[in-house]
Structure 1
Amino acid sequence: MDSIGKQFDRRQFVQGGAAAALGAAVAPNLARALPIEEEAPAKDGKKPNLIFLYTEGQRWDCLSSAGHPLLKTPNMDRIAHEGVKFENAFCTNALCAPARASAMTGMWSRSTGALDNKTVNTPLPSDIPVFTDYLLEAGYETCVVGKVHMRNGMKEKHWDYYLGVNAPATNYYKPKMAEGKNGKIGPVQVWNEGYCDDFVTDRVLDWLKQPREKPFALLLWYMTPHAPYFRARRHLDLYNGVKIPKPASFDDDLKGYPGKPTPFKTADNKIGTTDTGDAVRSIEELCKDYYSGLVAIDENVGRIFKHLDDTKAMDDTAVIHSSDHGYLLGEWRLFDKRLMHEPSIRVPMAIRYPNRVKAGAVKKEMVLDVDIAPTVMDLVGLPIPKQFQGRSMLDVVDNKGPAWRKEWLYDYYEFPGAENVAPHRGVRTDTHKFIQWYTQSPQEFELYDLKNDPNEAHNLYGDPKYAAIQKDLEARLAKLLTEIPERKA
């Protein structure tokens, strides 16, 4: 059988799909201009193991290594301390299923057709591989555990071990999950084995302890701290008596959200008023449950790392840590994600692999979820497929290749739907952000000077002083929409 890459390259899906010729057609801003040279990923010539730690709705600042005043996350911190930390990392569509598809395919939502959470029960189009397809072909054992929540749960793919839930939320003490081994996945069943992310970690450790001759690729995708915000029983009293400060913009809704457009004001993701199943009633409840969930994740990550340390496998394992999206924790009295505002789109990003990345590096370039798949390929020494629209983040680390991106496209689609957030898109640069609410008439817009207004308090759209910047950002957005092809139904 031909290789996955050759199968993919033969398909012509410019109109019926996502443009197979992207590698050659897209500007260097979006994709690598040249394929990588295959590198020896380990000193002994063996390919490294891979762990892709993908947390659920973890903001970029919700790590003790990011200076959080309450959270203690020593195990996730270790990845950044002993590797490289990217301080400006973002998702391109702040919603679970689309973000996960972008991380796995290296492509924007508009190009894969994975636009929203409503599409999770349809298979990922067969002409779009995920990066584990390439790793499987290269001799890796593959495993995914936790909240998959991506187009049919990726059940049509081969997994040496699978334990996943393909839903936005579940009962953490009686989760409904499917399990499978060696490419065969059983039916969904209710598990009653304690806190979900704890027992998932138990299963992962059992799998890791099995004898193997091949390298492994583990997708460690925990569910916490998604609604319904169940805590591990050991954390029921965590943060009791601790004061949660209000964000600077917390009371803006009482002032009519000055400067914000109508779709922002009418969205339902408001603390204390939403009637969705994700409802939260106070900022204290929201933040303390959210932080407790991240503590549970960190403890379980520590269990995985201890095993790798004990078996002398840690330094032979490339670890990537990121999150599907950020999370609003009371900014503008909101929770959830979806919006193109900083708490929603900014995520942690760190890579630990001593053979390729020196400890303690900090990078400020803007990296994206679409960069994860090409980075994986680079880390394990495989050529980066032409259809990937992102770039290997190791280009930033190694200071090689074309100039890094100066702007990027955000695109949100799900409407009508949960939280009533209207479709919008925009462009973000190192210093400014432009948002277009394009589905209503008249259209509305937001423009922020992020350097002088990092909290996005002052909408500058229409301000004559920013006319030139506004025009430039409008042109950049139009160009990105042209460069990133839209998959046709």
Structure 2
Amino acid sequence: MPAPNLLFIVADQFRAMCLEPGGDPVSTPFLDAMASDGVSLTNAVSSYPVCSPHRAMMMSGQYPEANGVTHNVNSETAEWGVGLRPDAPSWAAVLRDAGYNTGYIGKWHLEAPVPEDAIHGAGPLEDGRYWDAWSPPDRRHGFDYWYSYGCCDEHLTPHYWTSNAARHQRSNVTGWSAAHETDVAIEFLKQASGKGSNGADPTPFALAVSWNPPHQPFDQLPPDYDTSYASLAPEVLLNRPNVELHTDVGREAAAIAPLYYAAVTAIDAQVGRLLQTLDELGLAQDTLVIFTSDHGQQMGSHGLLYKNVPYEESMRIPFVLRWSGRLEASAAENAGISSIDIAPTILGLLGRGADVPSAMAGRDLSPALLARGEPARMGDAAGSHGAPSSLYFYYPRNKGDVDIRGLRTATGKIIARFNAQDGLSTAVYDLVNDPFELHNIADPHMVRAMARELAAALAAAGQTWTGAAALAALAEPAETNMGVQA
């Protein structure tokens, strides 16, 4: 039997609610069919719901301090050394070393920009920062075919660096970026499907396709985008009860929503094109397809529009797998995945579990996902509130900013904020009875129990944190706390 192929698809800022029954009022027929034919994980979580940190964990299987990406990568954070470390492991490097034909198409956003990137990339923004960057061939972490860029939010006039292009040799394109990148991906698949001259099976491939939409600018849409969402009332567009429609943020979210949903539907169409190509080329049977995102978007929930916050709208991401006859349907409810688990799980699914680098901290959840598999070991972050679970990270941007850690389980969540001036504060939510996180639990016994779980999960993961001592004090038994206060 030939080695299985991989098509790994990422859509930036595509929140999980877009694919849920009773969720966002958006049409996604191809992704719905993909989920129906495969598995859609209801507990897929972005551990650091902003672009670069999640992508770094997704590629390396390492936590932020280990892989070097503790913040979004731009020229400001590059001064702190933020960028995926050259020696970080990656699932792509493992597959390339196993003989795979590896390719990356689209947004990367893991390379720290250098001054030359301000000239040859997208250029500085109004605040002087620049985000786009060319990635040298020895910093592509296992991808041989390269059609990519760092970070540029120009959906209708994108640009790319190809495999052998130097920094000053970018290719400029006119057209909607996701459609163009799908065109390139289809050509890659056609080339990869060809038989060798001796009639041997083709080399297995692992292709990552990374679309920037539905990330803003929301009005940069393909010419045939779905305009029907504009006719929906705000309360239909934004149906989550944690959105206050009659506020400035609520009104802005209602204006954004029709465009965001139009981009989601257009992205769904690109998924359909890729799946159809696999079918036409006879590759569907032997190709694992994964669709996911780096984070979601608040869209007015909790008075916020975007991401990088520990609410469900930002943290929860789609994770849809299709692989004919090889996936366990019950995994949709019983298994979950967090950012660091993606890399080892990909390797496990493709039969390379023995090759997972020891430097990867994530869990290989493939046993729970494969048909006739055994239940996954939840490992370092499992707690009494139910597995699967995921740590949450937010690193301070300056000395006055908060340093945040959290733990999300299938049934509950604790978020702990700390800085030297204000000390420790916590928010605890019951995700079963309060899925929209409207009620911060104040019961000291519940807070203490969740604080113990977070402290244990951080310790098991080998994570240091500035608020660790304060969290440990909070997690102590009540009588100990009372004695200290006295």
TM-score by length of 1: 0.77
1:236-289 CA distances to partner (integer Å, 9 max, x unpaired)? 6342312232432223997xxxxxxxxxxxxxxx838xxxxxxxx712221111
Question: Who is 2:92 aligned against?
Answer: 132
Counterpart position of 1:482 = 459
Q: Secondary structure at the match of 2:18?
A: coil
Return 67-76 or 130-139, whichever deviates more: 67-76
Of residues 150, 171, 180, the one that matches 1:166 is: 150
- Counterpart CA distance in 2 for 1:248 and 1:85 is 24
Residue 231 to residue 396, structure 1, CA distance change in 2 (3 Å): same
Aligned: 1:343 with 2:313: yes
The CA RMSD measured in Å over matched residues stands at: 2.7
Q: 2:51·2:72 contact (CA, 8 Å) conserved in 1?
A: yes
Give the residue type in structure 2 aligned to 1:214: T
Distance of 2:464 and 2:445 partners within structure 1: 32
Q: Residue 310 in 1 paired to residue 280 in 2?
A: yes
Could you tell me how far 1:355 is from its partner in structure 2? 4.9
Percent identical: 28
- 1:182-331 mapped onto 2 (5 Å cutoff): 187=168, 189=170, 191-210=172-191, 211=194, 213-229=202-218, 230-235=220-225, 237-245=227-235, 246=238, 247-251=240-244, 271=249, 282-331=252-301
SS in 2 for 1:433: strand
Other-structure match for 1:52 = 8
Give 1:389's aligned residue: 361
Q: Distance in 2 between matches of 1:401 and 1:326?
A: 26
1:216 positional shift: 0.9
* Letter aligned with residue 394 of structure 1: S
CA shift digits 1:384-405 (9 cap, x unpaired): 2222222222222322453563
Query: 1:147 is matched with which residue: 99, 104, 107?
Result: 107
| Compared CA separation, residues 116 and 69, structure 1 to 2 (3 A) | closer
CA–CA separation in structure 1 for the residues paired with 2:425 and 2:31: 39
Distance 1:287 1:252 in 2: 12
Instruction: Tell me, in whole angstroms, the C-alpha distance in 2 between the residues paired with 1:180 and 1:297.
Output: 25
Task: Look up the SS of the partner of 1:62 in the other structure.
Answer: helix
Amino acid at match of 2:67: T
Q: Secondary structure at the match of 1:61?
A: helix
TM-score (norm: length of structure 2): 0.78
Taking a change above 3 Å as real, the CA distance of residues 220 and 387 of structure 1, as seen in their structure-2 partners, is: same
Superposed displacement of residue 326, structure 1: 1.5
Q: For 1:44-123, what aligned pairs fall within 5 Å after superposition?
A: 44=1, 46-63=2-19, 66-68=21-23, 70-118=25-73, 123=83
Q: Secondary structure at the match of 1:438?
A: strand
| Matched position secondary structure for 1:282 | helix
What SS does structure 2 have at the residue aligned with 1:292? Answer: helix
* 1:80–1:360 Cα contact (<8 Å) kept: no
Tell me: CA distance 1:305–1:430, structure 2 relative to 1, closer, same or farther (3 Å).
Answer: closer
Decide whether aligned partners of structure 1 residues 359 and 486 sit closer, same or farther in structure 2, where only a CA change above 3 A counts: closer
Deviations 1:284-307 (A, max 9, x none): 221111111111111111111111
- Structure 1 pair 252/364, CA: closer, same or farther in 2 (3 Å)? farther
Q: Secondary structure at the match of 1:47?
A: coil
Q: Structure 1 residue 204: deviation in Å?
A: 1.4
Q: Secondary structure at the match of 1:118?
A: coil
Shift of 1:62: 0.5
Matches within 5 A, 1:10-25: none
Cα displacement (A) at 1:173: 1.3
Question: Is the counterpart of residue 371 in structure 1 residue 353 in structure 2?
Answer: no
Q: Which runs of 5+ in 1 are unaligned?
A: 1-43, 255-269, 273-280
Q: CA deviation at 1:190?
A: 5.6
Residue type of the partner of 1:443? L
Task: Report the Cα distance in structure 2 between the residues aligned to 1:333 and 1:173, rounded to whole angstroms.
Answer: 30
Q: Quote the offset at 1:431 in angstroms.
A: 2.2
CA distance, structure 1, for counterparts of residue 169 and residue 417 of structure 2:
39
Q: AA paired with 1:391?
A: R
Equivalent in the alignment of 2:409: 429
What corresponds to 1:453 in structure 2? 434
SS of 1:336's equivalent in the other structure is: coil
Give the match for residue 402 of structure 1. 377
Deviation at 1:186, TM superposition (A): 5.5
Confirm or deny: 8 A CA contact 1:145 1:220 kept in the other structure.
Answer: yes
- Give the distance between the partners of 1:83 and 1:185, measured in 2 at CA: 40
- Say whether the 8 Å CA contact 2:159–2:173 is kept in structure 1: no
- CA displacement at 1:93 relative to structure 2: 0.6
Q: For residue 471 of structure 1, what is the amino acid of its counterpart?
A: R
**What SS does the aligned partner of 1:424 have?**
strand
- 1:434–1:473 contact (8 Å) kept in structure 2: yes
Cα shift at 1:358? 4.4
Alignment match, 1:264: none
What's the offset of the Cα at 1:91? 0.9
Distance 1:454 1:359, change over 3 A: closer
Q: Give the whole-Å Cα distance in 2 for the aligned partners of 1:371 and 1:66.
A: 26
Which stretch shows the higher mean deviation, 98-107 or 228-237? 228-237
Residues 89, 360 of structure 2: 8 Å contact kept = no
| Alpha-carbon spacing, 1:250–1:468, altered in 2? closer, same or farther (3 Å) | same
User: Larger relative contact order (C-alpha < 8 A, sep ≥ 6)?
Assistant: 1
CA distance, structure 2, for counterparts of residue 68 and residue 459 of structure 1: 23
Q: Give 3-state SS (helix, strand or coil) of 1:485's partner.
A: coil
Q: Structure 1, residues 68-114: CA drift from partner, whole Å, max 9, x if none?
A: 45311122223321112211110111110000011111122233221
C-alpha separation in 2, matches of 1:154 and 1:106 = 20
Question: What residue in structure 2 maps to residue 16 of structure 1?
Answer: none
Secondary structure at 2:345 match in 1 = helix
